[in-house]
Structure 1
Amino acid sequence: MEVDQPIGLRETKKAATRRALSLAALQLAKEHGLDNVRVEAIAAAAGVSPRTYNNYFSSREEAICALGIDRAERLGAHLRGRPAAESLAVAIRRALAEFHACAEPDREMIMLIMRTPTLAREFMKASAVGEQTFAAAIAERIGQRPGRLDVTVLAAAVYAASREATKYWLRPGRTTPFVEVLDEALLLLAPVADAVEAAGRETTTDPRESAC
């Protein structure tokens, strides 16, 4: 009789399969162009069946942009792992610096998304999900619920700062490492993060919280 795997192991394997499919879709799109990528090729590159691919994604665009959601989850993990003694503003800056310390952003991926309207639309959808995921990490950091208006605004601001830093970094002739450009942008949000953290210490219930 087949023994079911523990829930944690199943979820870990599902996450790994999802990421493998996303990376395969992205690599094939960069090599051959999005319109020339087929489900069968993505599945083969990830070592799974086309049926498995269809269990995870409904389109190539969704598969590629799911990397943005994965990014948000990993950013949240970095933020949760920062020392408790750090202020929220410092913890956010250092969490993102840690995340980007190993490698610069994928220029090819960014340009592919920018020049492909269907990818750009899907990327915006994934970013919205990513903001919610990162908001949950911020809320946990200050002992609040993610539905708070100030928490969601801060998460959106962090994402906006990251987008603007990316565009600035991509300009011709720029040689400053991305992590430095990003940190400069995030530094501008320090007063907002400080205010959110102070409000979180003052109250555990806020009438502006989402009812959802």
Structure 2
Amino acid sequence: MSESAESGLRERKKADTRKALSDAALQLAIQEDFENVTREAIAALAGVSLRTFNNYFTGKYEALAHWQSERMRSSISELRRRPPDEPLWTSITAAVLKPLEDDDADSGPSRITAREDFVEVRKFLLSTRVRNAMSRDLFDEWVAVIAARTGTDPARDMYPRLVASVIRAVGDAAADTYAAADPPVSFGELVRSGLAQVAAGLPEPPRRRRR
């Protein structure tokens, strides 16, 4: 095996271990009160030692944040792959939905299938501890790829930063609506609808008649 192939294999194993630990943290967040979950429990569920856990994450909140960070990286990578002549919001919609589609294809133990589980996990994802543990570079990566597609300068033009902020806002609005919807609705369709409304210029909806 060549040196480059060995290096690639090592990196793949590291990525797999990091994912296993993050998936274990997510699974325990779904099943238990995450405040009481220990690093030892996460490591045991992932089938590794506490020492291995400490080699990858500084704590359980960082391990949980990695799950969300990887979803964001998946979207950013998908946006980079979209055809350059494709309408911006069409590309953004496909990119944002990519990790949701991957979730649908995933049958692993960490998959969130119940709305109650989604609501519980989202509480942690929105917590200060988890948000602080997420890479601050991810938002800047969103800004950079949007700037590249639109020919704008992220240092001088507000547009790419505004678009990245809107994407985040649509995700938050969709999650809030999904958590409260009765009867239940598809989270992916809420995201798609929200981005479509943004692309259309957020036209004012028809007023409902008062009863």
> Taking structure 1 as the reference length, what is the TM-score of the superposition?
0.74
8 Å Cα contact 1:26/1:109 also seen in 2: no
SS of 1:29's equivalent in the other structure is helix
| Residue 94 (structure 1) aligns with | 94
Secondary structure of 1:58's counterpart equals: coil
Q: Give the secondary-structure state (helix, strand or coil) at the position aligned to 1:86.
A: coil
- Tell me how far 1:5 sits from its aligned partner: 6.1
- CA change 1:88–1:184 in 2 (3 A) is same
Instruction: Return the alpha-carbon distance in structure 1 between the equivalents of residues 151 and 15 of structure 2.
Output: 27
Deviation at 1:9, TM superposition (A): 3.7
Q: Quote the Cα distance in structure 2 between the aligned partners of 1:109 and 1:96.
A: 17
135, 138, 150: which one pairs with 2:146?
Answer: 138
> 5 Å matches for 1:8-27?
8-27=8-27
Please name the residue that 1:205 is paired with: none
1:176 deviation in Å? 2.8
Where structure 1 has 5 or more consecutive residues not aligned to the other structure, the ranges are 193-212
Per-residue deviation, residues 5-43 of structure 1 (Å, max 9, x unmatched): 654443333222222111101112322321332222211
Cα gap change, 1:49 to 1:33, in 2 (>3 Å)? same
Q: C-alpha deviations, 1:164-210, integer Å up to 9, x for none?
A: 11111111414332222111211233268xxxxxxxxxxxxxxxxxx
Q: Does 1:179 align with 2:198?
A: no
Give yes or no for the alignment of 1:155 onto 2:164: yes
- Runs ≥4 residues deviating over 6 A: none
State the shift of 1:159 in Å. 0.8
Counterparts of 2:200 and 2:184, CA distance in 1: 28
Structure 2 gap ranges (5+): 105-110, 202-211
Q: Root-mean-square deviation (CA), in Å?
A: 2.9
